[in-house]
Structure 1
Amino acid sequence: MNNIIVGMGEALWDVLPEGKKIGGAPANFAYHVSQFGFDSRVVSAVGNDKLGDEILQVFDGKQLKYQLPKVNYPTGTVQVALDNQGVPCYDIKENVAWDNIPFTDELKRLALSTRAVCFGSLAQRNEVSRTTINRFLDTMPDMEGQLKIFDINLRQGFYTKEIIRESCRRCNVLKINDEELVVISRLFGYPGIDLQDKCWILLAKYNLKMLILTCGTNGSYVFTPGVISYQETPKVPVADTVGAGDSFTATFTASLLKGKSIPEAHKLAVEVSAYVCTQSGAMPVLPETLKERL
């Protein structure tokens, strides 16, 4: 069985107060998955420009594999400002390379060899990339233990009810935070019930294997039909939270594919995410003590 794990969507530069850092949830996800010894890929697009070349250089330096065709749009950038708690606020530039990911024969071959994929709503704001992501998901062959993870990742106004509905239909794991769950509940007209009930509704409505709910400092939950796993959020000195959620998703995915139980996968995901919060930037090297847990 092929065990390739794909992070698909935006590849960009986060322009932080102290300078630019490589960003985008798919790259963060694929990087952390690769730290656990999996064959991972970043799927996106870059511009035929200096910023695009620099993204490829960074990925090469991190020995991160990718399918990043060059397209006739500028490489994506995001202006990131951190608030007093180190929480990022984003200004995401539009009509950039990752809005225009082409569906190629090479990408079709990758889809046929993919065991797990993580995708979000942001990269679907443009029809070109949205179509490519959906074709990729539809091309993946059904196999035992396959994971199609929709890490919803709402940003600014770059989502619609239809995009979210279609993505929920195509995924079998939904990852969402407490604030996003409130937005989704308003969008879909769910009654004013508590967060857990909303999670059960989504799990049943879309026939999901799992729903992951993260609640910041208030812990996180994994809902599966009939069972809940809960983990407290460790208290750590926070450098910034950029990429922490992606490291959680990557660790959880890698753990499940290594045969760990949901509570074991959940616990390690929380610990890795907490460690990433203590480091600056989204792609720190994980300590051996965490990597050895798998």
Structure 2
Amino acid sequence: MKQIVVGLGEALWDCLPNGCKLGGAPANFAYHASQFGFEAYAISAVGNDALGDRTLAELKKRHLNCIIPRVGFPTGTVQVQLDAEGVPTYDIKQDVAWDNITFTPEMAQLAQKCACVCFGSLAQRNNVSRTTIHQFIKHTPRGCLKIFDINLRQNFYTKDIIKDSLKACNILKINDEELITIARIFGYPGLDIENKCYLILGKYNLKMLVLTCGTNGSYIFTPGEKSYQPTPKVKVDDTVGAGDSFTGSFAAALLAGKPVAEAHRLAVEVSAYVCTQPGAMPKLPESMIAKIGNLHAHD
């Protein structure tokens, strides 16, 4: 039995200066986990439109399983502007299909067999999808890795959404800028970065907290250890989806039984590689995939 990994939330098209590419953190996350031989699913919703057709065709082409009902709203799009360093800013359209993911019996069944689920705050901006995300998490078995990849975008989050998600997850992934925002929202005093992380880890009883700091490296804090990895210097094509590839490969390594530091090393290597490639879902080199040595990578 392959372990089941689920990315849950927005399916959308990143409209970059050089054309539109399929994106959305959940599909990116699921795709990268699937490259390591896991049975990965993207759960979202698309519209009854040409972009909806393209979404389903693209996921099929990438052999990614999905539960993506079609709903009476347009498929999500995001206008992406890149600065000189290839760093994106986003204009995320509202009232779209992925705001309206309804919980189905098929999702409930999948949740019961799920080994890892990743969700963010963005897809919780609308009550319909927010309810579905929390329903799904409630149906997961004990021991399931529940990763809250916080992904604060524009003004699409509230204190309650963040708090409920922190209570629902057992792994938090956050970047240094988001950590500052959270500290402001929750009124954490002037603690240094590390103490803020340990405070959140303890307060919400998390297994681990993953902190990425862009070019300044990344940290993983657990109640018993701390791992640090520098960010490799690479020639950046664009950074879109690099964070999702980090999370997907990190989760895959943990599920394959790798120690935290080793899983962390692989995640950094994968996300650096994704930065050198266009778009969020490049195919990873075999040499990287072999590092997990997952028994079913070549089924």
TM-score normalised by the chain length of structure 1: 0.98
Q: Name the CA distance, whole Å, in 2 between partners of 1:47 and 1:137.
A: 24
Structure 1 residues 210-225: aligned runs within 5 Å: 210-225=208-223
Q: Is the 8 A contact 2:2 2:39 kept in 1?
A: no
Corresponding position of 1:187: 185
Q: Name the CA distance, whole Å, in 1 between partners of 2:7 and 2:235.
A: 28
Corresponding position of 2:285: 287
- 1:61-103 residue CA offsets vs partner (Å, 9 max, x unmatched): 1111100000010000000010111000000000000000010
Q: Is the 8 A contact 1:2 1:114 kept in 2?
A: no
Corresponding position of 1:251: 249
Q: Is the 8 A contact 2:232 2:272 kept in 1?
A: yes
Q: CA deviation at 1:113?
A: 1.1
Q: What do you get for the CA RMSD once the two structures are aligned?
A: 0.8
Q: Name the CA distance, whole Å, in 2 between partners of 1:51 and 1:280.
A: 20
Q: Helix, strand or coil: the match of 1:135?
A: helix
Q: Is the 8 A contact 1:10 1:25 kept in 2?
A: yes
- 1:103-144 residue CA offsets vs partner (Å, 9 max, x unmatched): 01111111111110000000000000000000000111213x
Q: Does residue 1:229 correspond to 2:227, yes or no?
A: yes
Corresponding position of 1:20: 20
Corresponding position of 1:120: 120
Q: Helix, strand or coil: the match of 2:129?
A: helix
Corresponding position of 2:274: 276
- 1:190-210 residue CA offsets vs partner (Å, 9 max, x unmatched): 001111000000000000000
**Identity value in percent:** 65
Match of 1:206 among 204, 207, 228: 204
Corresponding position of 2:5: 5
Q: Name the CA distance, whole Å, in 2 between partners of 1:82 and 1:61.
A: 27
Corresponding position of 2:134: 134
Q: Is the 8 A contact 2:103 2:132 kept in 1?
A: yes
Q: CA deviation at 1:2?
A: 6.5
Q: CA deviation at 1:226?
A: 2.7
Q: Does residue 1:53 correspond to 2:19, yes or no?
A: no
Q: Is the 8 A contact 1:43 1:68 kept in 2?
A: yes
- 1:27-86 residue CA offsets vs partner (Å, 9 max, x unmatched): 100000000000000000000111101000000111111000000100000000101110
Q: Which amino acid aligns with 1:52?
A: G
Q: Is the 8 A contact 2:171 2:208 kept in 1?
A: yes
Corresponding position of 1:266: 264
Corresponding position of 2:164: 166
What are the ranges of 5 or more consecutive residues in structure 1 without an aligned counterpart? none
Q: Which amino acid aligns with 1:147?
A: L
**Equivalent pairs, count:** 292
Q: Name the CA distance, whole Å, in 2 between partners of 1:149 and 1:169.
A: 11
Q: Is the 8 A contact 2:74 2:96 kept in 1?
A: yes
Q: Name the CA distance, whole Å, in 1 between partners of 2:141 and 2:235.
A: 43
Q: Name the CA distance, whole Å, in 2 between partners of 1:3 and 1:286.
A: 20
Moved over 6 A (4+): none
Q: Name the CA distance, whole Å, in 2 between partners of 1:36 and 1:72.
A: 35
Q: Which amino acid aligns with 1:110?
A: L
Q: Is the 8 A contact 1:43 1:67 kept in 2?
A: yes
- 1:177-196 residue CA offsets vs partner (Å, 9 max, x unmatched): 00000000000000011110
Structure 1 residues 63-142: aligned runs within 5 Å: 63-142=63-142
